[in-house]
A and B are shown apart, each in its own frame.
Chain A
């Protein structure tokens, strides 16, 4: 077994799992954080996107043992009990999701972008979301939502 202790959404968590456990399985099956989705399981769809040490990555492509001691943020870490995160709110307002399966990955990828680049161009948003596949909505409304969330996060616009 591999013992891991890591920070997830600001809280220290520990588990003992078989070495062949992916980070995605660790999150979903050990910690019941099922917001990160299992889509393709091989890096193509982005539904499993989480932020590790500040950078968005595919949780299906990391082993649990590799995140021992590291800092992970999942979709569950964004909203508070009172409020959704501005990116989540913008996705709601712009109706950027239909079935919603791709949503956690897309929103985390968008957060990864805005954390590093608060004022991205449309091209930069497209680039940041190119690892996230959506089979229902299409991407136009997502891009608009990310642009709106960026304005709110920069303080140029009041949240809805």
Chain B
């Protein structure tokens, strides 16, 4: 498959990427790991005049804990998330989510930022980060802005990003560092399969063995990754029991709008939502007990 002709420029840092995008826009695209965008270019879904490569921008890389929390640069690859000792120790759910993406080759190229910006409802990076109330930093010609993932995701394959804006990083707020979290993906195979449904739950154990600050997020069941607010409200402050977890699973179905497609029917997805919600709550609870 041949790609249509375009110009190629490389940005050395985020500021330069923003200037290049503004200068060459609006028919420009950002190139990171290329695992989504090169496929689209070959299928001629895009016909950009200019491709701005950001893979050399050092300020978009790196994983570190700072005053705000855990910062993961947009260019961090899925492999780097899996290999990071701090994430392994504190957020096994993020390691697991990264591991379910594509295969080794895809994870060595594909970046966290690219996964979030492509914004397909089945993205595997979304649910655990959303359950951990992660925020993103976006840089544009007028400076930077910060927002939650719920605001960043607009619809299928659509985020708030303008053509001349770049995603800088993802921040898990300090209050959630080490928060027990679990992620599960249900696909038709183990390798190289998109999620029929994926889900994540994060929680603390409150006084008297109750759910505290419980957050549930679901993917592939609505136009974007979503929070299961009805299920969360039901659980908050209630005793942690298998019955309450199962009831939360049933309620999470009300939060979702699954569709029928060639991978699964909506009714099968509704069953998966209930099961995955219950299981991620149970796994997060076990993790919390171990802390």
**For the complex, is A114 an interface residue (Cβ under 8 Å from B)?**
no
Whether the Cβ atoms of A130 and B104 lie closer than 8 Å is: yes
Determine the chain A residues whose CB is within 8 A of the CB of B191 once the complex forms.
127, 130-131
Known A20-B2, A63-B53, A131-B103; contact A43-B35, beta-carbon cutoff 8 A: yes
Whether the Cβ atoms of A19 and B5 lie closer than 8 Å is: yes
**For the complex, is B31 an interface residue (Cβ under 8 Å from A)?**
yes
**For the complex, is B79 an interface residue (Cβ under 8 Å from A)?**
yes
**A34-59 contact mask (Cβ, 8 Å, vs B): 1 or 0:** 00000001111010010000011110
Residue of A20, A46, A113, A127 with most partner-chain B CB within 10 A: A20
Whether the Cβ atoms of B79 and A61 lie closer than 8 Å is: no
**For the complex, is A22 an interface residue (Cβ under 8 Å from B)?**
yes
- The residues in B between 39 and 91 inclusive whose CB is less than 8 angstroms from any CB of A are 39, 41-43, 51, 53, 55, 79
The 8 Å CB contact of A18, one of B5, B31, B34, B42, is B5
- The residues in B between 99 and 122 inclusive whose CB is less than 8 angstroms from any CB of A are 102-106, 108-109
Determine the chain B residues whose CB is within 8 A of the CB of A131 once the complex forms.
102-106, 191-192
Determine the chain B residues whose CB is within 8 A of the CB of A127 once the complex forms.
104, 191
Whether the Cβ atoms of B109 and A61 lie closer than 8 Å is: yes
Least CB distance from A25 to B in Å reads: 9
Determine the chain B residues whose CB is within 8 A of the CB of A113 once the complex forms.
104
Residue of A18, A49, A66 with most partner-chain B CB within 10 A: A66
The 8 Å CB contact of B105, one of A19, A65, A66, A109, is A109
Task: Give complex CA distance A61, B192 in Å.
Answer: 16
**For the complex, is B188 an interface residue (Cβ under 8 Å from A)?**
no
Total interface residues on A, using CB and 8 Å?
A: 29
**For the complex, is B145 an interface residue (Cβ under 8 Å from A)?**
no
Determine the chain A residues whose CB is within 8 A of the CB of B33 once the complex forms.
61
The 8 Å CB contact of B6, one of A19, A22, A66, is A19
Least CB distance from A41 to B in Å reads: 5
Determine the chain A residues whose CB is within 8 A of the CB of B192 once the complex forms.
44, 130-131
Determine the chain A residues whose CB is within 8 A of the CB of B106 once the complex forms.
43, 58, 61, 131
**B250-281 contact mask (Cβ, 8 Å, vs A): 1 or 0:** 00000000000000000000000000000000
**B191-207 contact mask (Cβ, 8 Å, vs A): 1 or 0:** 11000000000000000
What residue of chain A has the Cβ atom nearest to residue B8's Cβ? A19
Whether the Cβ atoms of B190 and A19 lie closer than 8 Å is: no
Least CB distance from A158 to B in Å reads: 29
**For the complex, is A6 an interface residue (Cβ under 8 Å from B)?**
no
The 8 Å CB contact of B39, one of A42, A130, A132, is A42
Whether the Cβ atoms of A66 and B104 lie closer than 8 Å is: no
What are 26 residue pairs bridging A and B, where the CB atoms are less than 8 Å apart in the complex? A18-B5, A19-B5, A20-B6, A20-B8, A22-B38, A43-B39, A44-B192, A49-B105, A57-B105, A58-B35, A58-B105, A58-B109, A61-B35, A61-B106, A62-B109, A63-B8, A63-B34, A63-B51, A66-B53, A109-B104, A109-B105, A112-B104, A127-B191, A130-B191, A131-B106, A132-B103
A interface list, Cβ under 8 A from B:
2, 18-20, 22, 41-44, 46, 49, 55-58, 60-63, 65-66, 109, 112-113, 127-128, 130-132
Interchain residue pairs A-B with the least CB separation, the first 4:
A131-B103, A130-B191, A19-B8, A20-B3
B interface list, Cβ under 8 A from A:
1-8, 10, 31, 33-35, 38-39, 41-43, 51, 53, 55, 79, 102-106, 108-109, 190-192
Given contacts A62-B34, A130-B104, 7 further A-B contacts (CB under 8 A): A19-B8, A20-B3, A49-B105, A55-B108, A61-B39, A63-B8, A65-B10
